A = this chain, B = another copy of it.
Amino acid sequence: MARELNGQTIAFLVADEGVEEVEMTEPWKAVEEAGGTPELISQEGGSVQAFNHLDKSKTYDADRGLDDADPSRYDGLVLPGGVANPDMLRADPRAVEFVKAFFTDERPVAAICHGPWTLVEADVLKGRTMTSWPSLQTDIRNAGGTWVDETVHVDGVLVSSRKPDDLPAFCEQMLEQFAAHGSRTASPGSRSGG
């Protein structure tokens, strides 16, 4: 099945610190390998401190901060986990508005592990079914969603997984959704290579 993301730009939204490294880097590689352009958006646009569970790992340079990020520029959104990452993002109104914009016109969103907390804050889960790190299940249900314990779950444009072990299935379904939705910026001809 074609998963051609040529011309697509995918936003990776993370807090300035706390993102689970592999939940950012693996989907990032998957987007690049499918021909898309990932862009790292952090709160302030500087250095992002990644974590491996509760241990600090490498830092990454964000491509831009939320003050300079127009959500209409992106064809899809990835929300990695790390317990502290969405805890900071959901408290930043700029991040919550950024996330809401993707649901307003139904562009694909892929969230893994603790990442869905920002969706709880954005109040976009009513009537939706998803999975997550299990500790979030009550918050997701209380926000009006239905929680399932699955490697990956797809509900419309929302792709969700539970943890790093689920990354292969998560990336696979995320790319399917991005490819199915197509690019909102590229000309039709630019997607004919697949």
**Interface set of A (CB-CB < 8 Å, partner B):** 17-18, 49, 51, 54-56, 83-84, 87-88, 90-91, 114, 120-121, 123, 134-135, 138-139, 142-143
Contact B83 A135 (CB under 8 A): no
Question: Given contacts A17-B54, A56-B54, A84-B54, is CB(A90)–CB(B142) below 8 Å?
Answer: no
**For the complex formed by this chain, how many copies does it contain in all?**
2
Residues of chain B contacted by A143 (CB below 8 angstroms)? 138, 142
A133 CB, nearest partner CB in chain B, Å: 8
Question: Given contacts A83-B83, A83-B84, A84-B83, is CB(A90)–CB(B56) below 8 Å?
Answer: no
A19 CB, nearest partner CB in chain B, Å: 11
CA distance A90 to B83 in the complex (A): 13
- 17 CB-based A-B contacts, threshold 8 Å: A17-B54, A51-B54, A54-B54, A55-B56, A83-B83, A83-B84, A87-B114, A90-B135, A90-B138, A91-B135, A120-B138, A120-B139, A120-B142, A121-B138, A123-B138, A142-B142, A142-B143
Residues of chain B contacted by A54 (CB below 8 angstroms)? 17-18, 49, 51, 54, 56, 84
Residues of chain B contacted by A121 (CB below 8 angstroms)? 138
